[in-house]
């Protein structure tokens, strides 16, 4: 995905000047790069082929979240887990992902991520 593709996706998704994008998920290769805007707390996620997303804060720092991306490609997954806000700028995520295709053949995994807020 090129920088011009990202700018076009942001514009098409209707992201406002004061909104913060925390994550961009796209298909590998030549997808149509039509993005959906999903709110993750105070930040946004732009994602292709998103079907459902739910985040539920439990406390001010901890919450649970699940999302499902349609398709039988590398990003077609159901992921469920939790997040913890380590500081104002750092958030840790832990989840388990199961692929829409070939789950019984090993297409499932633990997912760990650290997110940084540049603002």
Q: Where are any strands of DSSP class E within 1-119?
A: 20-25, 36-40, 43-47, 50-57, 62-69, 77-85, 90-99, 108-116
Coil, strand or helix at 72 = coil
What are the structural domain ranges in the chain?
Answer: 3-116
pLDDT digits (tens, 9 = 90+) for 62-81: 999 988 876 676 667 888 99
pLDDT digits (tens, 9 = 90+) for 33-60: 567 677 766 777 777 665 566 788 999 9
CA–CA dist 45, 69 (Å, integer): 13
CA–CA dist 27, 42 (Å, integer): 24
pTM as predicted = 0.54
CA–CA dist 79, 10 (Å, integer): 24
CA–CA dist 18, 9 (Å, integer): 16
Average pLDDT estimate for 6-22 = 80
């Amino acid at each position: 995905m090129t920088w011009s593709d990202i700018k076009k996706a942001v514009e098409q998704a209707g992201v406002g000047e004061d909104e913060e994008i925390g994550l961009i998920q796209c298909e590998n290769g030549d997808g149509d790069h039509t993005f959906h805007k999903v709110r993750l707390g105070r930040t946004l996620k732009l994602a292709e082929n998103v079907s459902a997303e739910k985040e539920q804060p439990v406390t001010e720092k901890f919450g649970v979240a699940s999302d499902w991306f349609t398709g039988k490609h590398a990003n077609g997954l159901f992921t469920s887990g939790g997040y913890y806000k380590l500081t104002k700028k750092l958030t840790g995520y832990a989840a388990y992902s199961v692929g829409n295709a070939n789950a019984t053949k090993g297409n499932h995994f633990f997912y760990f991520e650290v997110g940084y807020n540049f603002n």
